[in-house]
Structure 1
Amino acid sequence: MNDVPVTGRMVKAKVKSQTRKWMNLIYEGKEVIMSAEDITGPVGDFVEVFLFEDKEGTLSATMKQPLVTADTYDWVYVVGGIEPGVFVDIGLPKDILVSKDDLPEDRKLWPLKGDKLFVTLSHDRRQRLKAVPISEWLIDEERDHATSELRSANVRGNVYLHKEGGAAMITEDGVRGFIHESQANFTPRLGQFVEGRVIEVKEDGTINVTLRDERVVAQGKDAEKVLELLQKRGGEMPFTDKSSPEEIDAAFNLSKAAFKRALGKLMKEGLVKQEPGRTYLVQEKNE
């Protein structure tokens, strides 16, 4: 007895009979039905069809090739979710379940309607068709390799994996990117579309990506520059947000606007305070 599921693949099935509404097929001794609506080409003694079980569990067929099969993989849209998992649209009359066993433990990271998952087809223990996210080794085998010219470029893509320390994405150009948790002010969902900036191109052709606003990143670096000068001057300096652009440029190589943003960040964090004509480190003042 052959216990291997027959669903999930394109196969050649023998035509048994045909009516105006239905076509009856035989594949490996099993009877298969196909709606006339799913007949998209010429019919001979054999037809190439995709096998699946309809909502009633009846072995069914369609001549329409779905977006993914048990032998192929692709990005597909999430169309909804229930307690056991989320459903994806692979181009069949019936949506296919991605089991919660193949989704993050934290339900807040589950994909929402409109997100996209990179999946192939498989079967559960009861031999029902299901969609499963593809494995990391396949990503590594199929991905494109980034070149050094991509550094600082803006990239867009979908998250396909959560791992320790962050999330992995595939860009629209097929490059694997890693988003460290420190490079985002939120944890992106599985399947979520994100836009970021390349901060490192690694030797293996993968990239590190930040989702943080470039101005916010620059603000942090500028604040470090101000702190460094304050520490060198014993915790006090004769520069404030009232200083002239020329004074600020000479001391920090910053525009006045960038200096004010950096100073505002430090004051908001409680690290510095201002008095007329001077700025000082809070800890120095308290000592």
Structure 2
Amino acid sequence: MKELGLISKLPINRFTDFGAYLALSSGEELLLPKGYLTGEEKEGDELEVFVYTDSEDRPVAVTQKPLALLDEFAVLEAKEVTSFGAFMDWGLPKDLFVPKAEMGKNMEVGEKYLVKVCVDYKTNRLIGVSKYKDFLRLAPLDWEAGKELEGVVFEETELGFKVLIDDEYEGLLYKNEVFQPLRLGEKRKVYIKKNREDGKLDLQLLAPGRVKYDEGSEKILGILEEKGFLQLHDKSAPEMIQEQLGMSKKHFKQCIGQLYKAKMIQIEPDGIRLNASN
């Protein structure tokens, strides 16, 4: 079935008490359960649906879109882990199953992992594969330092944060160069620091040419670049500064003074804001 794992526009053939049967390109029919109908549809209408298999491995259509389509990657949370595999939350009623043999590492409930949606050709159903390295390629040789890319943060290690670029390439943001919160699964703009001989990329969050400040200032700047505003100022209680930033009030005042002199921030009565010109 060529529609499996994809978003397709399919016409309504007929209605039943259970929902609507949609016409596949093969001439067969596929059920769209009644819960996905508004009641305003009529025969011949084309509906945009996602096609996968239900809990009994029967092909079915839904109007929801999963976090990843066939042959796409996504960072998914493990909802249940068994001796034969893990069930991942991918935004649909039926979880995506990652067989034990397709796990890159042992999974734990509540943790997030990079997973690619694939077809198990033995059962003709969609499965997840977390052995992501099998699908990656070496970064192009002509990608030079400073090139801007967009990537998905997918794993935290002792060295730093792994980033997936274009569903094909792997890069690393070194932890000692990251001064802002990163969440697994979020997309971030990154820049090549070094295109390594092993085909992987050393990355940085700073645009080429931007002045790098001391660690405390970079941490504040990183939060402001993400949120725009930080409700702390030179009159804030030391305990509040320590709790939010992990630094002393003295160090905080030195940092915002440095950023203010560099015209990176505005200091307002109730907090600090990233300068609009940056």
User: What is the TM-score with the length of structure 2 in the denominator?
Assistant: 0.49
More helix by percentage? 1
User: What is the TM-score with the length of structure 1 in the denominator?
Assistant: 0.48
